[in-house]
Amino acid sequence: MTEADQETPPRAGGTDAAGNNVLRPAEPWPSAQGGASGPREPVSEREARAPKLASTRASALPVVAFDRGELGEILRVYGRMVAAGEWRDYAVDHLSDRAVFSVFRHSSEHPLYRIEKEPALARRQGAYSVMAQGGLILKRGHDLARVLKVIDKSLKLVD
């Protein structure tokens, strides 16, 4: 490639008013000294390889998520039910207003139960709720362990 080839910007296709195909110059190449995009700032090797996520993280909407302790409690119940053969699959959704842990008997069905964390209701009815397949709220409360007792069929002492 010659020096003249490097300075010539690529051509972009288009049509004129009559509908004929024409070639017109595209945007000029940015040069190392400035050019079309202004002066270049020095970039470290690490910054050049890193994905450009910093700007998107700051502007992204906040999401509600289960913390490690909450997931531990939910997965403890889930593990017992899988071992009993009643549940087979789960899904976790983190939305802007709630976090949802859905439990499935078969992966192609609607969720059998939905365990939801909705912080907006924390001071009123409780942030946690267990919903049945039809949308019926089985239990709502402030303590996740007490709410999960509705669906936890662990061994109980019989007299």
Residue 15 in any domain: the answer is: no
Residue 20 domain-assigned?
A: no
In a domain, 34, yes or no: no
Is 35's pLDDT higher than 90?
A: no
Q: In what order do the strands lie in the sheet with 99-104?
A: 89-94, 99-104, 113-117, 128-132, 137-141
Q: Percent of the chain beyond pLDDT 70?
A: 57
Sequence letter at residue 62: P
- Quote the pTM value: 0.58
Query: The domain containing residue 100 runs over which residues?
Result: 68-148
Q: Give the model confidence (pLDDT) of 81-127 as tens digits.
A: 999 888 888 999 998 888 999 999 876 778 899 999 988 888 888 88
Mapping DSSP onto H, E and C, the string for 35-89 reads: HHHCCCCCCCHHHHHCCCCHHHHHHCCCCCCCCHHHHHHHHHHHHHHHHCCCCCE
In a domain, 142, yes or no: yes
Residue 82 falls inside a structural domain = yes
- Structurally, the chain folds into a number of domains equal to 1
What pLDDT shows up at residue 68? 92
The answer to whether position 50 is within a domain reads: no
Alpha-carbon span 13 to 25, nearest angstrom: 9
Most confident range, picked from 14-18, 121-125, 155-159 = 121-125
- Maximum mean pLDDT: which of 29-38, 55-64, 79-88, 104-113: 79-88
Q: Is 32's pLDDT higher than 80?
A: no
Total length of the chain? 159
Residue 153 — very low, low, confident or very high, per pLDDT cuts 50/70/90?
Answer: confident
